[in-house]
């Protein structure tokens, strides 16, 4: 009996996934060299119709990151709220986006719902279009961990619903290194699990809304360095596809 229980027990590892939405150019210019310096891989969710437009990565840059073993996933053609669309248009946004990535030699497995908006019909479309998972943009405890937030700190490994992967919300320009570290440490203390973080722009002065969905290169670099130091405690960085494909006895 003890051997059977041991085989069924879930490992207490903490896995952090560094996911990036929208294909912003700073993800290539700033995040890519920092990830390389720490030998870490990220998951980038891109809108194929926006590739090569103002302040977005080009196809050459995306293909370079794919060649460097970063995961490239879908995020729809144009970033609409998929739940607000008629079925055929929602399906076109998801399937044609994936087809555009495949045409570039990319084999996308993971999808991220634009704005985190999804329902059962949207999840079914994502599955039919050939994706093996889909990520939301909320659902776990907030990064700032406000008093009274009783939601889980982590997703399961692998997730119980691969088409409704939950994440902490939200990472803004005001989010500190200390906040990111404290969240991961809290996950470690509770026994481990999956922490899929959602990044957008990586820049020093992104402009636009305040606070902006962004992180500075210096804060991101410091966070990666800190994560690297946690490897000895069982905290590691993996892509979304790697986590979803995990199978424990």
The model's pLDDT over 208-231, given as tens digits with 9 standing for 90+, comes to: 777 789 999 999 999 999 999 999
Structural domain includes residue 59: yes
Residue 2 confidence (pLDDT): 40
CA distance 127 to 163: 8
Structural domain includes residue 5: no
CA distance 24 to 20: 9
Is this structure's pTM higher than 0.85?
A: yes
Structural domain includes residue 1: no
Structural domain includes residue 7: no
Residue 135, domain CATH = 3.20.20.370
Residue 247 confidence (pLDDT): 65
The yes-or-no verdict on residue 42 having pLDDT over 50 is yes
Give tens-digit pLDDT for 154-196. 999 999 999 999 999 999 999 999 999 999 999 999 999 999 9
Structural domain includes residue 35: yes
Structural domain includes residue 122: yes
CA distance 68 to 144: 33
Residue 246 confidence (pLDDT): 85
Structural domain includes residue 2: no
Show the domain range for 177: 12-244
Domain count, the chain: 1
Scanning the structure block, which residue is given the tokens 């006895």?
249
Structural domain includes residue 237: yes
* Residue 218, helix vs strand vs coil: helix
Give tens-digit pLDDT for 147-158. 788 999 999 999
């Amino acid at each position: 009996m003890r051997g059977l229980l041991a085989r069924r027990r879930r490992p207490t590892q903490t896995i952090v996934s560094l996911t990036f939405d929208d294909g912003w150019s700073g993800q290539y210019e700033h995040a890519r060299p920092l990830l390389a310096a720490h030998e870490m891989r990220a998951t980038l969710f891109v809108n194929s119709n926006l590739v090569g437009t103002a302040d977005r990565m080009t196809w050459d840059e995306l293909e370079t990151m794919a060649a460097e073993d970063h995961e490239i996933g879908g995020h729809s053609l144009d970033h609409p709220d998929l739940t607000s669309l008629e079925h055929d248009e929602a399906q076109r946004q998801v399937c044609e986006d994936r087809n555009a990535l495949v045409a570039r030699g990319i084999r996308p497995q993971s999808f991220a719902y634009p704005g985190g908006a999804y329902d059962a019909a949207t999840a079914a479309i994502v599955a039919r279009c050939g994706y093996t998972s889909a990520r939301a943009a909320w659902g776990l405890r907030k990064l700032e961990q406000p008093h009274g937030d009783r939601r889980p700190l982590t997703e399961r490994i692998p997730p119980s619903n691969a088409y409704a992967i939950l994440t902490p919300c939200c990472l803004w320009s005001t989010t500190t290194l200390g906040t990111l570290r404290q969240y991961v440490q809290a996950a470690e203390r509770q026994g481990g699990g999956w922490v899929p973080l959602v990044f957008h722009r990586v820049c020093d002065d992104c402009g636009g809304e305040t606070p902006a969905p962004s992180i500075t290169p210096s804060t991101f670099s410091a966070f990666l360095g800190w994560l690297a130091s946690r490897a000895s405690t069982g905290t590691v960085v993996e892509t979304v596809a790697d986590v979803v494909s995990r199978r424990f006895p």
